[in-house]
Amino acid sequence: GENVEQHPSTLSVQEGDSAVIKCTYSDSASNYFPWYKQELGKRPQLIIDIRSNVGEKKDQRIAVTLNKTAKHFSLHITETQPEDSAVYFCAARPPGYGQNFVFGPGTRLSVLP
Amino acid sequence: KAGVTQTPRYLIKTRGQQVTLSCSPISGHRSVSWYQQTPGQGLQFLFEYFSETQRNKGNFPGRFSGRQFSNSRSEMNVSTLELGDSALYLCASSFGGTSEETQYFGPGTRLLVL
């Protein structure tokens, strides 16, 4: 079955710097890759997603890139702010899995003022 | 449009008891999925319901079950609770029509088993 790895597990950056989180997946037929942000005690919130027919997508300070050949995708956050501090999860949706995801283990991002 | 809601938000049970959790999806969404979140295992898929039928199932024991009603609301039941069932249980909803849809999560029910 699908397996999603995520690195790093923790990441500390200075406010204003960029942060990059990388994920790899194992099932080449997976076709949808969302990123969720989960603040302490809150629900996971979708921040950006990418579909398998797209290589890159950007939304203000957040961008995601997808390399289907290498089976990896990355989250890029520029000009980080303290409110970006949270746990970020990548996920993949393999075929035959319905609406559901296999999640990476998460990255705890700390943005230091 | 109201988001996904879950009740109760917090629950304390003892080993051997059973528990029922409830999830109301976003209006118009017909797919409801359940996930278990723990510090050690992360977010793991339990099962998905669509149009009152279980459509997909993760790798959890039969003590975990669910159902969906005609209004798309879903319940999850855990019988014979074990200490390891302590977790945040999240439900997520989507329209359920294609494999490229987003899932929206509820706030979760935090279950503590003593």
The predicted-structure confidence for A29-46, as pLDDT tens digits, reads as follows 998 999 999 999 899 999
**Does A33 contact B at CB distance below 8 Å?**
no
pLDDT tens for each residue of A13-22: 999 999 999 9
Interface contact flag, B56 A49, Cβ < 8 Å: no
**Amino acid identity, position B55:** R
Radius of gyration of chain A (CA): 13
The low-confidence residues of chain B, meaning pLDDT below 50, are: none
How far is the C-alpha of A28 from the C-alpha of B89, rounded, in Å?
A: 29
pLDDT tens for each residue of A50-86: 998 889 999 999 999 999 999 999 999 999 999 999 9
Query: Residue B1's pLDDT is what?
Result: 67
Interface contact flag, A97 B56, Cβ < 8 Å: yes
Residues of chain B with Cβ-Cβ distance to A43 below 8 Å are 4, 90, 105-108
Residues of chain A with Cβ-Cβ distance to B96 below 8 Å are 98-99
**By C-alpha distance, which of A67, A68, A66, A75 is closest to A29?**
A68
Q: Which residues pair with A25 in a beta bridge?
A: A4
Residues 86-105 of A with CB under 8 A from B: 89, 91, 93, 95, 97-105
Query: Residue A93's pLDDT is what?
Result: 92
